Amino acid sequence: MFWHSYKYSLKALLKNRMMVFWTVAFPFILALFFNMAFARLHDFDVFEPFDIAVVNDEEYKKDEIFDTAFKTLGEGDERLFNIELSDMEHAEELLNDGKIDGYVYAKGDKKEIKIKENGTNQTVLKMAVEQVSQSAKMIDDIALSEIAKNAGQMVDISAIYQNAVKIVSETEPNIKDESHVMNMVSVEFFSLIAMACMQGAMLSCEMMNRCMPNITNRGKRVAVAPTRKGVIVSSNLLAGYTLLFISLIALIFFTRYILGVEYGDNIPLICLLAALGSLTATMLGMFLSVILKTRESAKNVIVVLVTMVGSLFAGMFGGMKLFFDELLPFVNKISPVGLITDGYYSLYYYEDLTRFWINAGTLVLISAILFVLSIKSLRRQRYDSI
Partner 1 sequence: MKNVIEVKHLTKSYKNNKAVDDLSFNVQEGEILGLLGPNGSGKSTTMNCILSLLNFQDGKIKIFGKEMAPDAYDIKSKIGVVFQDVAVFDELTVYGNIDYFCGLYIDDKKMRERYVDDALKLVGLEDNKSQYPKQLSGGLLRRLNIACGIAHKPSLIFLDEPTVAVDPQSRNNILEGIKKLRDDGATIVYTTHYMEEVEILCDRVIILDHGKIIASGTNDELKALAKIEEKVTVEVADLAPNQLSGFEKIKNVSEVEYDNGVLKISYSKGKNNLIDMIEYLKTNKINYKKIFAERPTLNDVFLELTGKDLRD
Partner 2 sequence: MIVSKAFWKIVLKNISSIITPTIILLLFGAISVSSTSSTSQFEAAEPSIVIFNHDENIGLTKNFIEYIDKHAEIKTDYEDDDRLKDALFYENVIAVVDIPENFHSDMTFNHNPEVKIRSSAGYSAELAKTMISRYLTTASAYAKTNISEQELISKIDAQMENSVEVSIDKAVDTSKYAKAERYFNFASYSILSCFITIICLIMSAFNRTQLRKRNLISSMDIKKMNRVLLKNCCLYSLAAWAFYFALSIFAIGADIMLTQYGLLFALNSLLFAGCATSIAYFISTFALDASAVNGVQIVIALGSSFLCGAFVPAQYLPDSVLAFAHVLPSYYYINANSKIAGLEAFDFDALLPILIEFAIVIGFSVLFIFLTNIVAKKRQKIA
Between CA 185 and CA 262 the distance in angstroms is 9
DSSP H/E element including 106: strand 102-107
Query: Would you give the DSSP letter of residue 57?
Result: -
Residues 9-28 that bind partner 2 (CB under 8 A): 17-18, 21, 25-26
Where does this chain touch partner 1 (CB under 8 A) — which range of 185-193, 335-343, 352-360, 375-383?
Answer: 375-383
Q: Tell me: does residue 346 bind partner 1 (CB under 8 A).
A: no
158 binds, among partner 2, partner 1, none (CB under 5 to 8 A by kind): none
Residues 144-173 that bind partner 1 (CB under 8 A): none
Whether the CB-CB separation of 194 and 274 falls below 8 Å is answered with no
Q: Work out how close the CB of 386 gets to partner 2 at its nearest, in angstroms, rounded to a whole number.
A: 27
Q: Which is nearer to partner 2, 111 or 210 (CB)?
A: 111
Q: Work out how close the CB of 285 gets to partner 1 at its nearest, in angstroms, rounded to a whole number.
A: 18
Whether the CB-CB separation of 132 and 123 falls below 8 Å is answered with no
Q: Which is nearer to partner 1, 198 or 233 (CB)?
A: 233
Between strands 102-107 and 110-115, the pairing is antiparallel
- Helices 229-253 and 201-209: crossing angle, nearest 10°? 160
Among 24, 53, 73, 95, binds partner 2 (CB under 8 A): 95
Whether the CB-CB separation of 340 and 332 falls below 8 Å is answered with no
161's CB contacts (< 8 A; 6+ apart) are 139, 143
96's CB contacts (< 8 A; 6+ apart) are 116
Nearest Cα neighbor of 232 from 215, 209, 201 is: 209
Instruction: Determine the residue type at 374.
Output: S
Where does this chain touch partner 1 (CB under 8 A) — which range of 1-9, 97-105, 240-248, 305-313?
Answer: 1-9
Q: Tell me: does residue 178 bind partner 2 (CB under 8 A).
A: yes
Among 6, 34, 70, 190, binds partner 2 (CB under 8 A): 34
Where does this chain touch partner 2 (CB under 8 A) — which range of 181-189, 233-241, 269-277, 285-293?
Answer: 181-189
381 binds, among partner 2, partner 1, none (CB under 5 to 8 A by kind): partner 1
Whether the CB-CB separation of 176 and 227 falls below 8 Å is answered with no
Total of residues contacting partner 2 (CB under 8 A): 81
Buried b (16+ CB within 10 A) or exposed e, 33-59: ebbeebeeebeeeeeebbbbbbbbeee
Total of residues contacting partner 1 (CB under 8 A): 31
DSSP H/E element including 312: helix 310-314
Residues 13-32 that bind partner 1 (CB under 8 A): 13-16
Measured in degrees and rounded to the nearest 5, phi and psi for residue 266 equal -85, 75
Q: Which is nearer to partner 2, 39 or 386 (CB)?
A: 39
Q: Tell me: does residue 386 bind partner 1 (CB under 8 A).
A: yes
Q: Tell me: does residue 90 bind partner 2 (CB under 8 A).
A: no
Residues 190-229 that bind partner 1 (CB under 8 A): 213, 216-218, 220-229
355's CB contacts (< 8 A; 6+ apart) are 342, 346
Residues 227-286 that bind partner 1 (CB under 8 A): 227-229, 232
Q: Which is nearer to partner 1, 295 or 382 (CB)?
A: 382
The 337-376 contact track toward partner 2, x by CB under 8 A, reads --------x---xx----x---------------------
Residues 115-174 that bind partner 2 (CB under 8 A): 115-120, 122-124, 126-127, 129-131, 133-134, 137-138, 141-142, 145-146, 167-168, 171-174
Residues 299-328 that bind partner 2 (CB under 8 A): 301, 304, 308, 312, 315, 317-323, 325
DSSP H/E element including 110: strand 110-115
Between CA 260 and CA 254 the distance in angstroms is 8
Between CA 3 and CA 10 the distance in angstroms is 10
Whether the CB-CB separation of 187 and 340 falls below 8 Å is answered with no
Radius of gyration in angstroms for the set of CA atoms belonging to the chain, rounded to a whole number:
32
Q: Which is nearer to partner 2, 5 or 341 (CB)?
A: 341
Among 3, 15, 110, 265, binds partner 2 (CB under 8 A): 110
Q: Which positions lie near partner 1, rule CB under 8 A?
A: 1, 4-5, 8, 11-16, 213, 216-218, 220-229, 232, 381-386
